[in-house]
Amino acid sequence: MSAPATSPTSMVDVALVGYGPTGVALANMLGLYGVSVAIFEREAEPAHLPRAVHFDGEVMRIFQSMGLAEALTPHVHISKGIKYFNTAGQLLLERKPAHEIGLHGWANNFLFHQPDLEHVLRQGVARFPAIRTYLCQDVVDVSDAGDHVELRTRDTISGVEATHQARWVVGCDGGRSMVRQAIGPHFEDFGLHQLWLVVDVLLSREIDLPDATVQICDPSRPITCVRGTGRRRRWEIMVMPGDDPQTIDQPDTVWKLLSPWLTPQDGQLVRRALYTFHSLIAEKWRKNRLLIAGDSAHQTPPFLGQGLCAGIRDAANLGWKLARVVNGAPESLLDTYQSERHAHIRAFIQEAVRLGSIIQTTDPQVAAARDQAMLRTGPEEMVNLSPPLGPGLHHGGAVAGTILAQPRLSSGQLLDDAIGKGFALIGDVPLDPHLAARVADICADLVVIADGALTPWLKDAGARWIVLRPDRYVFGTSNRPDELEELLGSLSVALETRRQQHALQA
């Protein structure tokens, strides 16, 4: 629901600053739990130009949890893989095409057009009457008032200012985040700061170009070529010493750089933008009632295609936790957001920096040594990372803090659709009546799934039962009834489940 630009909010549970992919994903997650949300966005409309182009199977699974996967499916296509070539055309590194169903019940990798994605996600937000959007509103100040936060906004058209109140504020306002500045401006820096020219082209006709993403590891000019949806294509071109950043993005220069593939008659330049690829993680993601997510909290170079994915994962981790806290769980639950996500995104950034070092090599001797080392063992295979969470809300066991696969149950239904939006206890045989009664007494809002189709996953986990969180990461496992009661007891204490049951079920 859109609100007038100068209409102040009454107190809401959560205010979101920024309505890009992370903000709109978090709004959908909070909407599922009935949380009241005010969204403040400085722009009048969603971005109409392409930015992010890739998300993975886990992110599609998160969209599934929002009830939006079906609406997104017509707007994506399955990735045909990635190939890294040296100047001699030899294959150094490859990610296979994502033809098969992967860990998460979906293909492992998808390509998309960001305006299409944002349109579907914003339509999803429109389902929830407790969410109001305030467009053309620049948040110019946030002030923690103890039991709530006051936000001062300025209308970007009229200049009129207004004050709004929220119990919690999440900054999803990008790499120059104002909310992050209020929390603390310091970063962990992984050292990659490289200027690239990003060019998006809409082809006017079919042209024989690779279906796979191609990384050209040429020390004289590293280049990436990406096939988008429909006739959309992207080139990422590294800015080299001697290039003039003031003119390299001009059409004549761009068409010269694209001349090995295209002529000006072959397509339209949709976007030309210079980006510095950063590798950063903010030191603090929370200060009292202020939090950050997405690019506000971390920035990853694009060599794994994980920038947007990371923000969507933030939304999946933070959304249910905020909903629980709004409904009475301890505020300390929000401290697990950074501790869990920091370690997770760190693994992705480190891998992206490693891949960047392969393609960004500009010394011919270093490139020759790179080629020799990589060709000696044959092409390296790239696989989707699935690192564990850092310390947080998970309890012992080797698989605790890892994400569980999403199989189909015996009925043919995907596991997550059967579970819904809460915690779940899964096994392959029904609980005996006594244990079932104890489980219901300890955690009344726990969904219990017993299905023989889950046996392989239980065996892999070395467990008789697995307790899953709403984001499908494993809270813990058990093999004996007394272990299970203890595990669920620790969960109930951590969440103060009994206090929340009525609110969450309402």
Strands 149-155 and 91-95: unpaired
321 & 182 share domain: yes
Are residues 346 and 431 both part of a single domain? no
Question: 267 lies in a domain?
Answer: no
Domain stop point among 339, 358, 377: 358
In a domain, 270, yes or no: no
Look at residues 184, 163, 173 and name the one whose alpha carbon lies nearest to residue 11.
163
Residue 71 main-chain phi, psi, to 5 deg = -70, -30
Q: What is the pLDDT at residue 323?
A: 97
Q: At which residue do the structure tokens 């009129």 appear?
A: 160
Q: Are 303 and 385 in contact (CB under 8 A)?
A: no
With H, G, I as helix, E, B as strand and everything else as coil, classify residue 430. Answer: coil
Contact 282, 180 (CB under 8 A): yes
Q: Give the Cα separation of 346 and 356 in Å (integer).
A: 15
- Best CA proximity match to 297, nearest among 276, 315, 281, 319: 281
Domain contains 69 = yes
* Pair 288, 435 in one domain: no
8 Å CB contact between 55 and 309: yes
What total of structural domains would you count in the chain? Answer: 2
Q: What is the DSSP letter of 6?
A: T
Sheet with 223-227, strands from edge to edge, namely 267-277, 194-203, 232-238, 223-227, 213-216, 82-85, 91-95, 380-381
Beta bridge partners of 41: 135
Q: How far apart, in whole angstroms, are the C-alpha atoms of residue 314 and residue 320?
A: 11
Last residue of a domain, one of 358, 375, 399: 358
231 occurs within a structural domain: no
- Within 13 A of 160's CA, how many CA atoms are on the CB side? 8
411 contacts 128 by C-beta, under 8 angstroms: no
Do 311 and 180 sit in the same domain of this protein? Answer: yes
388 and 346 Cβ atoms separated by less than 8 Å: no
Does one domain contain both 320 and 456?
Answer: no
Q: How many residues does the structure list for the chain?
A: 506
> Is 67 contained in some domain?
yes
- 379 lies in some domain: no
Domain boundaries, position 477? 415-505
Q: Which of 317, 337, 358 is the last residue of a domain?
A: 358
N-term to C-term CA, the chain: 22
Q: Looking up tokens 């239980």, which residue turns up?
A: 458
In this structure, is residue 263 part of a structural domain? no
Interatomic CA distance for residues 140 and 137, integer angstroms: 9
Rounded CA-CA distance 373/396 in Å is 40
pLDDT tens sequence for the chain (506 residues):
566 544 556 799 999 999 999 999 999 999 999 999 999 999 999 888 889 999 999 999 999 999 999 999 999 999 999 999 999 999 999 999 998 999 999 999 999 999 999 999 999 999 999 999 999 999 999 999 999 999 999 999 999 999 999 999 999 999 999 999 999 989 999 988 999 999 999 999 999 999 999 999 999 999 999 999 999 999 999 999 999 999 999 999 999 999 999 999 999 999 999 999 999 999 999 999 999 999 999 999 999 999 999 999 999 999 999 999 999 999 999 999 999 999 999 999 999 999 999 999 999 999 999 999 999 998 999 999 999 999 999 998 789 999 999 999 999 999 999 999 999 999 999 999 999 999 999 888 899 999 999 999 999 999 999 999 999 999 999 999 999 999 999 999 988 854 444 444 44
**In CATH, what number is assigned to the domain containing residue 123?**
3.50.50.60
At 4 the pLDDT is 52
Distance, CA of 238 to CA of 267 (rounded, Å): 21
Element (H, E) at 256: helix 251-258
DSSP code string of 278-322: --EEES-SEETTEEE-GGGTEE--GGGS-HHHHHHHHHHHHHHHH
On whether residue 83 sits in a domain, the answer given is no
Whether residue 157 sits in one domain with residue 305: yes
Residue type, 243: D
Nearest Cα to Cα of residue 46 among 131, 128, 124, 120: 120
pLDDT of residue 306: 96
The count of other CB atoms within 10 Å of the CB of residue 250 is: 12
181 lies in the same domain as 313: yes
For residues 148 and 289, the answer to whether their CB atoms sit within 8 Å is: yes
Query: Which string of b and e fits 56-89 if b means at least 16 CB within 10 Å?
Result: bbbbbbbbbbbebbeebeebbbebbbbbbbbeee
Residues 215, 196 contacting (CB under 8 angstroms): no
If one counts every other C-beta atom within 10 angstroms of the C-beta of residue 445, the result is: 16
> Considering only CA atoms, which of 442, 419, 437 is closest in space to residue 496?
442
User: Which stretch of DSSP H or E encloses residue 152?
Assistant: strand 149-155
Alpha-carbon span 71 to 123, nearest angstrom? 10
Whether residue 144 sits in one domain with residue 29: yes
469 is written with which tokens? 């969180």
Per-residue pLDDT, 8: 55
pLDDT at 56: 97
Both 328 and 455 in one domain: the answer is no
